[in-house]
Amino acid sequence: MPSIQPTALLRDSRALAVLAVPLVLTQLAQVALTTTDTVMMGLLGTRDLAAGGLAIVIFNQLRTMGVGLVTSVGNRIAAAAARAETAEGDSAESDEGVRKIVRASMAVATLAGLAGAVLMLLIGQALPLLGQDEAVADRAQTMLLALAPGLLPCLWFQAIRQFTVGMRRPQALLRITLASVAVNAGLNWLLIHGTWGLPELGLPGIGVATSTVYLLSFLALYASAKKDAVLAPLLSLNVLRADRATVRELIGLGIPIAATYGSEAGFFSVTALMAGSFGSAALAAHTAVNQLVYIVFQVAVGLSHAASINVSRELALGRIDAAQRIKNTALACAAAVMAAVAVVYVTLPGLVLRPFLDAAGDDKAVSIATQLLLVIAVLQFFDCAQNIGVGLLRGLDDTKSGFRITLIGYWAVGLPAAWLLGYAAGLDTLGIWLGLLTGLAATAILLLRRYGSGLRARAREQEAVA
């Protein structure tokens, strides 16, 4: 790997930050939705926190896979825009090509949202068969019923989001997502307690609030894009006019991405079920710590998306060296953030866990979660690196390798390690998280190696053409 020069790193970091910072902030604001939900569930008690956390894990599993199906939209649009800047052509034809991608992405999002909502309810009914406490399973089912309608507008939002990112105009995302956090918190409180004449829904009220916020966020992003002089002419949502060939292309690229995202989310979902087998205190601790990982993970998601879009752009322009530097820059930026967060976890565990577990008043859950913080201080470095690796491969249009590698890293390495350490070695929830760490580390190493070999192959192709 080429050495990283400080001056070049600073320059490349600034270039990456132009796109990455709005995306990272948007991701952090978006995860504040589920963080708010988790805090509100903690106020209701340990059992509601365990049940609601389980429901959110299932929702996030299906949401993540649906997002994967439309993620390639940003790369397709970024590459097309880069080529249009350097070549003469029919602008009207180019614009119609972008509109075709947008319509196709909305069609894919609609199909994924409907299928995911049905599957979510079926999984909820199967929870007692998966070893979960009956009272926890009953509460989780009501939460899933309230969350299911929100999956469709959530994926519509993601389709439009990828369009704005691909066009390198993501600024409205942050404003809308910040507003959604405040609205979600207010609706949570109103629907949990039945304030202002609204019904007192308790735990399901959190799901109703979240679904409502997803719908409002989609409408706000669509309205914002329609006011943008660059985006508005290209924004076409008529899914009935979606080009079947473009839909098939997006699905062809999206299925491996969805499978990759689903592989990771499924890895975490299975470990949540494993933690639940050790009791409600272990599941509550797992839920709290998992939410912390999820929060920090959004930095990697933003960097991954920005790096992926920039790699697509640089490769469309034939700049292999720049694509290599993007990898180095993204990893260096992620490592700096993870190191700072790790210091906070190690030195201030009580402060970090208080918003999630203090109200529940369960000393056992707090003790377990405090142990787990030491593990995630290390785990998050590999978690970020593997997510950035997936994004880099997406920039190469190599979506299949990411899926194959996650199957190996998560399921062939991580899950057996989690079982051995959690059950055979008797480390319980701590062992499960050590297994998670092992799987993520293996995945990160394999993904980054694959990206390096992919770039070398591109360079050889470029030299052969020259």
Note the pLDDT of residue 1.
41
Note the pLDDT of residue 454.
92
Ranges of beta strands (E only) in 116-268 are none
Within the chain, which residues score under 70 in pLDDT? Answer: 1-9, 83-94, 197, 359-361, 466
DSSP code, position 150: G
| Cβ–Cβ < 8 Å for 439, 263 | no
Note the pLDDT of residue 6.
63
**Would you call 138 exposed, middle or buried from its count of C-beta atoms within 10 A (0-12, 13-18, 19+)?**
middle
Note the pLDDT of residue 430.
93
Q: Alpha helices, DSSP H only, in 396-427? A: 399-406, 415-419
Note the pLDDT of residue 388.
94
**Furthest CA-CA distance within the chain:** 72
| Cβ–Cβ < 8 Å for 74, 168 | no
As a whole number of angstroms, the distance between CA 129 and CA 133 comes to 10
As a whole number of angstroms, the distance between CA 265 and CA 260 comes to 9
Q: Which residues contact 462 (CB under 8 A, 6 or more apart)?
A: 318, 320
Note the pLDDT of residue 2.
46
- Provide φ and ψ at 96, rounded to 5°: -65, -35
Element of type H or E holding 195: none
DSSP code, position 234: G
Residue 378 token pair? 């290390």
- Tell me the CA end-to-end span of the chain in Å, nearest whole number: 24
Q: How remote is the C-alpha of 124 from its chain's centroid?
A: 22
| Cβ–Cβ < 8 Å for 356, 39 | yes
Q: Let me know how many helices (H) and strands (E) the chain has, helices first.
A: 15, 0
- Name the residue among 126, 24, 46 with its Cα closest to residue 362: 46
Q: Where are the domains of the chain?
A: 6-461
3-class DSSP assignment, residue 45: coil
How many CB atoms are located within 10 Å of the residue 303 CB?
29
Q: Which residues contact 130 (CB under 8 A, 6 or more apart)?
A: 273
The pTM assigned to this predicted structure is 0.75
Q: Which residues contact 320 (CB under 8 A, 6 or more apart)?
A: 314, 455, 458, 459, 462
Note the pLDDT of residue 9.
67
Note the pLDDT of residue 84.
66
